Chain A
Amino acid sequence: MVTDLASAKAVTDKLANEVGQIILGKEQEIQLALACILAGGHLLIEDVPGVGKTLMARSLAHSLGLSFSRIQFTSDLMPADVIGVSIYQQNDNRFVFHKGSIFAQMVLADEVNRAAPKSQSALLEAMEEQQVTVDGKSWELPQPFIVIATQNPTHQIGTYPLPESQLDRFLMQIGLGYPSEPLERKLLRGDDRRGTLKSLRPQISGDELPALQHAIKLVQVSEALLDYAQALTRYTREHPDFELGLSPRASIDLVNAARAWALIQGHLGVQPEDLQSVFAAVADHRLRLNSATGAMPGQAAMQVLTEVAIP
């Protein structure tokens, strides 16, 4: 059981290592994904097809010992496919609820932006409420409940981009990017990675994750750090480059993510660098740039970080 920062750090090290064996050369992204999970948030991975988004989600679920379910979002996906459906039982003369794919500890919502908004919002509501309601009856989702959604870059044909209000519910959005040439060569030469996935061993059981998530509360957050966090959000709200600044939910998420990140780094208190490391992942997808004056998309977070002085 995890009770102190040192043992929590040891566990996260093992987790990162394990996933790192499958996803090569993406230590930073793996740590961010772990931090997101430790902070109790949902993760959005946005990248072109084929860079290992699904693999990442699967290996995380596997090494965390969580029950896993995958929903492939398509344009004809119905909300009932996600949350489940009540079917009339002739023998008992009543409706029985058949749970949908969402009833798992870790749900991979693959290519979430290919589904119609109605289905998307079914998922997002479930993420927020941690429960689904069908025919007036609520069904608790298994705990811990983590959604990893992947999406293709929105400019591709046949996609329904998630609106800002929905994006705000994902604690982090990360990209994976192409592997470096030597690593790609290694991939080209190597075995089928899906085989290795089966060889992964759960490092903790799903029941232990809440304790790990709780451990991030042990990381000190000083007034000075909160000043910095507020200075960052204030900048996004006041600067004319931004049409939409960070919401209070975003700043709460930011501090929690930084705590988780600090835990993974083995820090006793959150340092400005911890905040900076998670800032792009937490903030980038929530900021809407002013198209007239704004910076390039994807550089917004960078601009904030360079402009705002550490108090």
Chain B
Amino acid sequence: MDKLLPLHEPSAQDRRIRLLWLLIAVLFVSLPHLLQVNIWITLMLLGVSAWRYALEYRNWSVPSVWIKVPLVFAALAAVGFTYRSITGVEAGTGLLLVMLALKILETKTGRDLIVVSAICWFLMFAAFLREQQLWAIPYILFGISLSVAALIQIHRVSAVLPARQVITKTAGIIIQALPIMLVLFFLFPRIPAPFWAMSTVGSSAQTGLSDQLNPGDISSLSRSDSVAFRVRFNGAIPPASERYWRGPVMTYFNGREWSWADRGEPILSVEELLVGGTYYEYELMLEPHGREWLLALESPVQWSQNKAYLSANLQLISQIPVRQRIAYTARSYQFVQKQLPDVERHIQAMRHLPSGSNPETLAFALKLRNESSSDSDYLNRILDMFRQQNFYYTLRPPRLGNNPVDQFLFASRRGFCEHYASAFATLARAANIPARVVTGYLGGELNPMNNDLIVRQSDAHAWTEVWIDGNWLRVDPTAAVAPQRIELGLDEALSASDFDFRRNMRNTQLFRQAILSLDAVNAAWNRWVLAFGPEMQQDLLRNAGFDKPDMRDLILLMAISISLLLAALAYYLRFGIRSKKDPLLQTYETFCKKLADSGVIRHRSEGPASFAARASRLRQTDRSHIESITQLYIRLRYESIGSIVPAAELRQLTKLVKAFKPTSD
């Protein structure tokens, strides 16, 4: 193995510089991991790097095997203890970093250094598990550059290169690699499933809707500015008050929390739906949330996502959890009526209330229903109550106890959308009207940059649907208490006390503009780069004239493209480099160009001295300039020993040529 490496021992200083380059590369590429893993791993990597460098500096030998072996086991145990596992993304990265630190500690030969730099590449690869956003690209590029630079230094046969030359060489190597990278990006066979099953780390911790709705859930969600999904409408954009994006439909109520129990629901076949009213067509790009539901505008009838179905609750559900950003097109109609096979059984569940909970609400409901003429009248009275009595719409509702609906309706009267939706649905069920709570998003911000509708977690909303006259009817009790929420969005609806600094910031014009621009760039990145999956690849090949591109075509095409690229590169390296002019020649050519502009043209086979003689004859006034430049040039080009031109004299020549202004005819 060591045959790959310099046969003679590099000097102590060269070894130090080599190690320093490698350590810088290692620390830089592990940065995104270091910020995530347990602090002791971070400290260990930093400490060991410093230790190893100190050993090199003092010219001490690396720790013996009696220290290393116990260290390995101690580290393994520590990782296992910290993460309760040594597999999985989190523990795996931790283990990788710990072992990297230990490997650094024992680097002795050039081969060890190469192993460490190989780990660098793997760490960069692993960084994509965490972050695939646009900003990761310059970071990764820089990490690659550092690793390449370290590799160059490790492989130097003679002395290490000065930093400047390493940078040039690295840039050269990376530029050579770019076309091949593009070929691989476009042609490497894409597989439909995520390459590694874990996908992005921490998707479980991501904010988003849940399959349960507790009082306070959505109000806490509304503090998050992160994007839930982006929508691009194909044609008309629905008004703000119609932008109800359906998510999990909560049908089961235990007196305190609503939960989604859709798994057993029958699948709705689209043919049985009766649709009407205007419809909207759109492409929705959903950020990963780790759960099964898909978001769709009320009410979806057609969708492009495979392996998705519409439940009896009109909820679009994917058979595989959304662990990656996915895009699908859909068509939603304003009015949808459905013929359910077993309506009675279906709605019966929606009347259920747990016995014994929220007794005040039940009593109140019965009383109010008796006063009302019909179900509709009853529901309207409730909404009137929200509108007319002292109900407040607030982001900071007080905590509620065991009978939250009772407490909300009769005591606190301060709540967010989920409080109103929950209370309204409870009141409806108490009067034997089937009701359910729908969670999802309401509204969204239209980005003027690219006409994308950005729907954020802060747009999360909950509303109610009640069964009236054999059909489900959307009732949004929040509209009764805070109509601005529906028309204008959350910010407008909240009272002044709910504004915090961040919201003020968000509302300044400039900041908003910047956010929207950034989002447009990010959306484009998602749409064209991250979303480049099997479908887009197939489309690309079809456009390129392949009838039914399969895996074999892809591999063949990729092999051909890469071979051609390599051939072109080889040709360039063999013949192209020659055309690269050295600075001395360039300076002289500038000089010739100046004379040519003034009317004295050098023949390509005319030697510098003969040309100078002729030019001096033709331009008597410039004689001394021409001669001193030519003399210096001849000295540098034809009389100097070795091929390296002394920099000082070259500068002098450049200066002379720069100052040279020949008289014209």
Please report A residues at the B interface, Cβ cutoff 8 Å.
220, 222-225, 267-273, 276, 305-310
Query: Apart from A222-B640, A225-B638, what are 10 other A-B pairs with CB-CB below 8 Å?
Result: A222-B638, A222-B639, A224-B637, A267-B639, A268-B635, A269-B638, A271-B607, A271-B634, A272-B638, A276-B605
The reply to whether B605 and A223 contact each other, CB–CB distance below 8 Å, is no
- Once the chains bind, are A222 and B604 in contact (CB under 8 Å)? no
A-B CB pair tally, cutoff 8 Å: 47
27 of the cross-chain contacts (CB-CB < 8 Å) are A220-B639, A220-B641, A222-B637, A222-B638, A222-B639, A222-B643, A223-B643, A224-B638, A225-B638, A267-B638, A267-B639, A268-B635, A268-B639, A269-B634, A269-B635, A269-B638, A271-B608, A271-B609, A272-B638, A273-B609, A305-B605, A306-B603, A307-B605, A309-B604, A309-B605, A310-B604, A310-B607
Indicate if B82 sits at the interface (CB-CB under 8 A).
no
CA distance A276 to B609 in the complex (A): 12
Chain B nearest CB, measured from A238 CB (Å): 15
Complex alpha-carbon distance, A307 and B610, angstroms: 16
Can you list, as one digit per residue, whether each of B608-646 has a CB less than 8 Å from chain A (1) or not (0)?
Answer: 111000000000000000000000001101111101000
Q: Give the residue of A273, A306, A307 whose beta carbon is less than 8 angstroms from that of B607.
A: A273
Nearest Cβ in chain A — how far from B479, in angstroms?
Answer: 83
CB neighbours of B665 from chain A (8 A)? none
Establish whether residues B607 and A220, one from each chain, have CB atoms under 8 Å apart when the complex forms: no
User: Is B643 a contact partner of A306 (Cβ separation < 8 A)?
Assistant: no
Contacts of A310 in B (CB 8 A): 604-607
Contact call B634/A306, Cβ cutoff below 8 A: no
Do residues B639 and A269 form an inter-chain contact, with CB atoms below 8 A?
yes
In the assembled complex, the Cα of A276 lies from the Cα of B611 at a distance in Å of 13
Interface contact A306-B638, CB-CB below 8 Å: no
B607 to A276, Cβ gap below 8 A? Answer: yes
| CA–CA, A72 and B248, complex, Å | 117
A269 vs B640: C-alpha distance when bound (angstroms): 8
For B638, give its contact among A220, A276, A305, A309 (CB under 8 Å): A220
CB distance from B590 to the nearest CB of A (A): 16
Q: CB within 8 A of A220: which of B606, B609, B610, B640? A: B640
Kindly list chain B residues whose C-beta atoms are within 8 Å of the C-beta of A220.
Answer: 638-641
Chain B residues near A270: list those with CB within 8 A: 638
**Contact partner of A271 among B603, B605, B638, CB < 8 A?**
B638
Q: What residue in chain B is nearest A224 (Cβ atoms)?
A: B637
A128 CA / B238 CA spacing, docked (Å): 99
**Within the assembled complex, what's the spacing in Å between the Cα atoms of A272 and B607?**
5
B605: which of A222, A267, A306 is its contact (CB, 8 Å)?
A306
> B605 touching A273 by the CB < 8 A rule?
no
Q: 0/1 per residue, B284-305, Cβ < 8 Å to A?
A: 0000000000000000000000
The complex places the Cα of A267 from the Cα of B638 at a distance, in Å, of: 10
Q: A309 contacts which chain B residues (CB < 8 A)?
A: 604-605
Closest to A271 in B: B638
Chain B residues near A223 (CB-CB < 8 A): 643
Chain A positions within 8 Å of B639 at CB level? 220, 222, 267-269
- Set of chain B residues within 8 Å of A224, measured between Cβ atoms: 637-638
Q: Which residues of B contact A306 (CB under 8 A)?
A: 603, 605
Docked CA distance A288–B641 (Å): 36
Q: Tell me if B608 and A272 are in contact (CB < 8 A).
A: yes
Expressed in whole angstroms, the Cα–Cα distance for A32 and B458 within the complex equals 93
- A43–B83 Cα gap in the complex (Å)? 90
Instruction: Give the chain A neighbours of B607 by CB distance below 8 A.
Output: 271-273, 276, 310
Which of B605, B634, B641 has most chain A Cβ within 10 Å? B605
Q: A268: nearest residue on chain B (CB-CB)?
A: B639
Compute how far the CA of A225 lies from the CA of B509 in the bound complex, rounded to whole angstroms.
67
For B603, B638, B639, the residue with the greatest tally of chain A CB atoms inside 10 Å of its CB is: B638
When distances are taken between beta carbons in the complex, the residues of chain A under 8 Å from B634 are 269, 271
Task: Tell me the complex Cα distance, A268–B609, Å.
Answer: 14
Q: Using Cβ atoms and an 8 Å threshold, which residues of chain B touch A307?
A: 605
CB distance from B576 to the nearest CB of A (A): 16
Point out the residues of chain A lying under 8 angstroms from B635, CB to CB. 268-269
CB-defined contacts of B603 to chain A, threshold 8 Å? 306
Minimal Cβ-Cβ distance residue in B for A273: B607
- Report Cα–Cα, A310/B609, bound state, in Å: 12
Whole-angstrom CA separation of A220 from B610 in the bound complex? 19
Assembly CA distance A224 to B581 (angstroms): 12
Task: Please measure, in the bound complex, the distance between the C-alpha atom of A272 and the C-alpha atom of B605, giving whole angstroms.
Answer: 9
Interfacial chain B residues near A269, Cβ < 8 Å: 634-635, 638-640
- Please name the 6 residue pairs, one residue from A and one from B, whose CB atoms are nearest each other, closest first: A269-B639, A272-B607, A309-B604, A273-B607, A269-B638, A268-B639
> What residues of chain B lie closer than 8 Å to A305, measured between beta carbons?
605
Give the interface centre of B607, B608, B635, B641 by most chain A CB atoms within 10 Å: B607
